[in-house]
Every structure is written in C-alpha cells, then in structure tokens.
A and B are shown apart, each in its own frame.
Chain A
Amino acid sequence: MMYGGSGTQSRRDLAIEYQAQIPTLRPSIHARRANMTVKFQDLYGFTVEGNVDDVNVLNEVREKVRQQGKVWWALEAEKGANWYLEGHISTTLKSSLKISSLVNAITLKKLIRGGIPPNLRPRVWFSLSGAAKKKSTVPESYYNDLTSAVEDKVTSATKQIDHDLPRTFPGHPWLDTPEGHAALRRVLVGYSFRDSDVGYCQGLNYVAALLLLVMKTEEEAFWMLAVLLENVLVNDCYTNNLSGCHVEQRVFKDLLTKKCPRIAAHLEALDFDVSLVCTEWFLCLFSKSLPSETTLRVWDVLFYEGAKVLFNVALAIFKINEEKLLMAHQVGDVINIIQRSTHHLFDPDELLTVAFDQIGFMTTTTISKQRKKQEPAVMAELDQRIRRLNSNSNDK
C-alpha cells in the first residue's frame, strides 16, 4: 500500500535491510539513535517497514504468542484434543446444557479473542469455521477432481486470475514463486467453477493467498475460502455488482454514526465518505491493510463469531484515531491518518481490545436487521445506475 506525501522518499533512503530469521529482532544502536526505518520479515514472510518502536512491539507480540500457545496446549492436555469442538457444538445446537460444555464455550470465545497460536490455527480454523463439515459432505477426491477437471479451461475468471497472480503480494518469498502462483491459481480457478455467480472477484486473491500461508495444505485453504464465501460472510459480497458489499458499507456508516458520533459528524462535514477507505477492508478482510498477524487475529474471531466482527474492527480503527481525525481538515489527511495507523497496528491486542471492549456489544441479529433495512435502498440505487447508463448509451 502506498500513500502520497513527501516523507516517504526520505524514509526509504534511510531504510536498512534487516532480515529477521531469529525470533527476537535487535535493531542496532545506530538505528535506535537515528530513529530509522528498518525492513524485516514478519512471522508469515511479509516484508514490513517500521521504526524501532514497531520492532519492539513485534517482539512483545511474539512473546505473547508464545504465552498464548502455552495456555492452549495446557487446555488441550487437560480437556483432551479437539475439546473446542465440544463447546462450539453445544452453543450452536443448544442441545446440551452440560456445565462443562458451557464453560468450554465461554472459555473458547475468550481464548479465541486472545488469539489462536499460529501452529494450532490450521486445525482450529478448519474445525470451528465449518470447513471440515463442508468438506465431509462431498467425496474425498472432490478437490483433486475439481482442479484437474478445470485446469485447462479458459474463462473470463481464469484470465483475470492469471493477470492477478503476480500482482498478489508481489515479493513474498513463497507466494511470489512459480509454486506459490500455481497453488493460488488452483484454489481460485477451482472456486470460480464451484460458484459461477462469484466466479472470481479481485480481492479474493489476497484472501486466498493468506489462507494458503496459514493452512499449509492447499485443499484446506480451498475449503476455508468456500466456507468464508458460502457461510461466514454475507451473500453477494463478491458477485456481479458487489451488492452485498454495498449493503455492508451502508450498515457500517450507520454504526459509525451511533458508536463514534463525533468522528462521523466531523467526516461528514469534510464531505468524506468513509466507504472510500472501508471498501477495501471489507473486500480483502483487512489483509491488504493490517500487518499479517493482526489480520489473522481478526480472522480468528471472524471464523468463530461471524461477519459482524468486521464492523467491530473497522469501528475500532476509527476509534483509535479519534483525536487525530478530529484535527484533520483535508480528505488526504484523513486517509493518511487511517493508512498509517493500520499499517502500524503490529500489536493485535491494541486493536482487538478496542474492537470488543470499547465499541460495545453488537449481536448478529442486530446486524442482520440493519442489513435487511439497507438492502432495498442498495438494490434501487444499483438498478437506477444501470438504467441511467443504458438510456444514456441508447441516446448515442
């Protein structure tokens, strides 16, 4: 991501290459003194630029991840492997009032908000999101059959996918290799044939790429993408005119007015439409804006609690920057404040604490009602645009 401004060039000139293969990063004393920007690779291989404070934050985060890992493994030792499935099933089906299940469910929600350790993530996501269940309803060979059947087909979706492969996190040490491109291609092309309404929508390339990095196996990444589009997110987020995305944007604007009235009023006075910055968040699920571990912490909660989580996080980003935003008087400044903030949110807890403790409780039911309320207006607006364009081209 880039933003304009004269500061960028000088920072780049000062930047020193800094590879962090070791668990703890130690910027040199010179870097400290000069408050230089250092470049390093994060846990998932993304090159990150930050100052010495950012590096310190990242080291703290690594330590917290280790601690959180111990908590999860201790629970596993105490309650048995896959204990989290038990808690989840009883809350969704409400079939069991066993105290142990309820305790598990409450513990689990809290634990997940605290973060799933990276090495447990593939397993926990796959179970809790419903991806495992989805996969179990089709023959074992489904993914292999699908990908080999569509391998040589050419559609507008496959053309767009091929165009985007080298443009998806370019420079990443695995994603941007022939092997990475091939895996991403199989997942995206396979999905485009599974759901021809979605086909391929730009943005999914980033989501699928990050899923590939987390899930380790390509097939599991495919099922995570499927469960995300078919069950977790609202319908039509990525279909022909992105109507689902338009609905989410309207719901978000209402929520911002309710939850952050000062910011909403100030931005409105600047004639600043928050969708200008939020659309990408909702389509890429923050993967293009937040540092990787922070994005994945958002996804931890997303897969367990559902799409309403995206609103909590988006509101939190505005909330965190409230004072700065109220001082901004130009559109460009608003965007720079938001983008600088998101790129430097290396501490996931800083964001998630605000998202879940300060924004206030929002139930899935409330959000669903809001969506229902906005749908007719969105449909009318989209129809009207198409009609205007058609009548316009008939005139010519």
Chain B
Amino acid sequence: MASSGNKNINAKLVLLGDVGAGKSSLVLRFVKGQFIEFQESTIGAAFFSQTVAVNDATVKFEIWDTAGQERYHSLAPMYYRGAAAAIIVYDITNQASFDRAKKWVQELQAQGNPNMVMALAGNKSDLLDSRKVATEEAQTYANENGLFFMETSAKTATNVNDIFYEIAKRLPRLQQAPNPSGMVLVDRPAERAAAASCCS
C-alpha cells in the first residue's frame, strides 16, 4: 500500500503477464538501465526497488516481478495483495499474451486493491515487423477498462521510465500535487534521458 511520510512514498508495484512478455526485462531496464537478451527465468517472483521523483515528492517503488508460467498464477495474490500499482505486460508480437493480459486485468479488478493504478504495457515495440496486436485495439481496451496504456521496449528503453513515472504521478497520494511535472531520479542521467517519450 502506498504510504506517505514527509513526501516520501513507498509504493508496492507488481508486474504480471504471460511468460516471455518481457516483465523482467522492463524491470531491469528501469532499475539498472540494462538489457540482457537471456534473463534468468524468474521463479516465484524477484524483488527490486527504484525511486522516482515527482514534483517535490519521491516515490520508492517496491517492485515484484512475477513468474509467467501458468501454474505460478496461483501464487500471484501474494504479490498483488496490498499493491498500489500494477503493470500488466504483453508482447505486441504475440496475440495470446494480450489475451492473457486481459485475464490479469479481470483478476485485479475483482481481487485487487480498488484504488490500484493499473498500466497496460505492450512490450517489444521495437519488433514492429512482427506485430500481432494493433496499438488501437490495445488502446481501446485500456480506455474501456480504466487503464493507461503505453507501448514499451525494454530493448531500446522506449517508454520504460515513462510508464513508471506515469504510475507515480497517478498514485492517489500524489493526486493533489499542484504541478504535474517532474523528473526521474537517477545515478546515470545520460542513459535515462535517452528514454523516448510517451505514445499513449
């Protein structure tokens, strides 16, 4: 649950999505600014933390990157319980992963924290030639379900920081903030600045 204290907020965030959609890659890009072609497969879930600044507040994300294989889904409630935010990830080159993403959205709508900020990430946006899920289709679905949507690429870093930053801005605790602009706090500013802009 997002908790405030001197404008420092801790927010639990969970990543859900089909196997191989790129959940771990998105996190690795966001937290360490790296991309690795073959990431160790995640078992249960892996934990990371990263801080972003929004206006005069800082949001420390406690990120749970979950395993994608179907049978691991029975563990998911442990990770999304009390989460302030979720990123549901699918692979734009794989229609089945988009269908799976919709199921996650349904589950969170039914079981998750009602104030949860939900983002839909169409990952691997660099693989345009193999695209199977149209941007408009995902955007429409997102609009209908109250999610915000971005296409991301962990490989090229496109929209990766942006999606986390957008989430931070939308956290209920920050909603009253007067000036909706800010920056990502980083140790390697050059890399972060290379992140492309939002496409939603």
- Residues 43-68 of chain B, each 1 if its beta carbon lies under 8 Å from chain A, else 0: 11111111000000000101110010
Pull 18 A–B residue pairs with CB atoms less than 8 Å apart, ordered by A: A3-B49, A4-B31, A4-B63, A9-B187, A167-B40, A170-B39, A201-B71, A242-B75, A243-B74, A246-B74, A276-B79, A277-B47, A280-B43, A284-B43, A332-B47, A335-B47, A385-B74, A389-B107
Complex Cα distance, B148 from A371, in Å, reads 43
Interchain CB contact under 8 A, B78 and A3: no
Q: Is the beta-carbon distance between A160 and B19 smaller than 8 angstroms?
A: yes
- For B82, list chain A residues within 8 Å (CB): 271
Q: Is A2 an interface residue (CB 8 A)?
A: yes
| Cβ–Cβ contact A392 & B71, under 8 A | no
- Among residues of B, the one whose C-beta sits closest to the C-beta of A167 is B41
In the complex, chain A residues 225-246 whose Cβ is within 8 Å of any chain B Cβ:
238-243, 246
Given the contacts A170-B38, A242-B74, A393 and B103 also touching, CB distance less than 8 Å:
yes
Question: When chains A and B are docked, how far (Å) is the Cα of A275 from the Cα of B110?
Answer: 23
A window 359-389: CB within 8 A of B: 382, 385, 388-389
Contacts beyond the supplied A2-B46, A5-B49, A246-B75: 17 A-B pairs with Cβ under 8 Å: A2-B28, A3-B47, A4-B63, A167-B40, A202-B69, A205-B41, A241-B71, A242-B71, A242-B75, A275-B75, A275-B78, A276-B79, A277-B47, A279-B44, A331-B12, A382-B74, A385-B74
Decide: A168 near B49, CB < 8 A? Known: A202-B72, A242-B75: no
User: Which of A160, A170, A331, A389 is within 8 Å of B69, CB to CB?
Assistant: A160
**What is the distance, in angstroms, from A127's C-beta to the closest C-beta of chain B?**
30
Q: A5-B49, A201-B71, A242-B71 are in contact. Are A283 and B28 (CB under 8 A)?
A: no
> How far, in whole Å, are A184 and B50 apart by their CA atoms in the complex?
35
Which of A5, A9, A203, A239 is most buried by chain B, counting CB atoms within 10 A of its CB? A203
Cβ-neighbour of B106 out of A5, A164, A246, A389 (below 8 A) = A389
Q: Does B7 contact A (CB under 8 A)?
A: no
Q: How far is the CB of B18 from chain A (nearest CB, A)?
A: 11
Instruction: Provide the residues of chain B in CB contact with A288, threshold 8 Å.
Output: 40, 43
Considering the complex, give the chain B residue whose CB is closest to the CB of A271.
Answer: B82
Question: Which residue of A is nearest B68, CB measured?
Answer: A202
Pick from A163, A206, A273, A332: contact of B19, CB under 8 Å: A163
Q: A283-B44, A330-B10 given as contacts; is B28 within 8 A of A4 (CB)?
A: no
| Bitwise interface map of B from 96 to 109 toward A, beta carbon under 8 Å scored 1, else 0 | 00000001001101
The chain A residue with its CB closest to the CB of B73 is A241
Does B4 lie at the interface of the complex (its beta carbon under 8 Å from any beta carbon of A)? Answer: no
Q: Which 9 A-B pairs have the closest CB atoms?
A: A4-B49, A279-B44, A241-B74, A280-B44, A166-B38, A4-B48, A167-B41, A392-B110, A203-B43
Task: Determine the chain B residues whose CB is within 8 A of the CB of A385 once the complex forms.
Answer: 74, 77
Q: A167 to nearest B CB, angstroms?
A: 4
Measured CB to CB, the closest approach of chain A to B43, in angstroms, equals 5
Mask: chain A, 276-315; 1 = CB below 8 Å from B; 0 = not: 1101100110001000000000000000000000000000
Does A119 have its Cβ within 8 Å of any Cβ on chain B?
no
On chain A, the number of residues with a Cβ less than 8 Å from chain B's Cβ atoms is: 50
CA distance A4 to B30 in the complex (A): 10
Select B46's contact among A1, A239, A284, beta carbons within 8 Å. A1
Interface residues of B in 75-125 (CB under 8 A from A): 75, 77-79, 81-82, 103, 106-107, 109-111
B interface residues, how many (CB within 8 angstroms): 45
A165 to B50, CA, bound (A): 29
Cβ-defined partner of B48 (8 Å) among A3, A9, A239: A3
CB distance from B145 to the nearest CB of A (A): 10
Q: Is B173 an interface residue (CB 8 A)?
A: no
Residue of A nearest to B31 (CB): A4
Cβ-defined partner of A164 (8 Å) among B12, B41, B60, B62: B41
Residue contact B111 to A4, C-beta cutoff 8 Å: no
**Given known contacts A2-B32, A4-B49, is B110 in contact with A388 (CB within 8 Å)?**
yes
| A95 interface hit (Cβ, 8 Å) | no
A92 close to B (CB within 8 Å): no
Known: A275-B78, A392-B110. A332 touches B62 (CB 8 A): yes
Complex-state Cα separation, A148 to B73, whole angstroms = 33
Partner of B43, one of A243, A273, A283: A283
Query: What is the chain A residue whose CB lies nearest that of B49?
Result: A4
Known: A3-B47, A202-B41. A240 touches B71 (CB 8 A): yes
Contact of A396 among B45, B67, B106 (CB under 8 A): B106
User: A2 CA to B48 CA in the complex, in Å?
Assistant: 7
Once A202-B67, A241-B74, A271-B82 are accepted as A-B contacts, the answer to whether A4 and B50 lie under 8 Å apart by CB is yes
* Structural contact, A332 and B49, CB atoms closer than 8 A: yes
Question: In the bound complex, do residue A8 and residue B49 qualify as a contact, i.e. CB atoms below 8 Å apart?
Answer: no
Does A6 reach chain B (CB closer than 8 Å)?
Answer: yes
Complex alpha-carbon distance, A163 and B69, angstroms: 11
- Check: A169 CB closer than 8 A to any chain B CB: yes
Residues of B within 8 A of A242 (CB): 71-72, 74-75
CB distance from A148 to the nearest CB of B (A): 27
Cross-chain contact A279 with B75 (CB below 8 angstroms): yes
Expressed in whole angstroms, the Cα–Cα distance for A50 and B44 within the complex equals 26
A202-B43 contact given A163-B19, A271-B82, A393-B103, CB 8 Å threshold: yes
Residue of B nearest to A388 (CB): B110
**Closest chain A residue to B36 by CB distance?**
A170
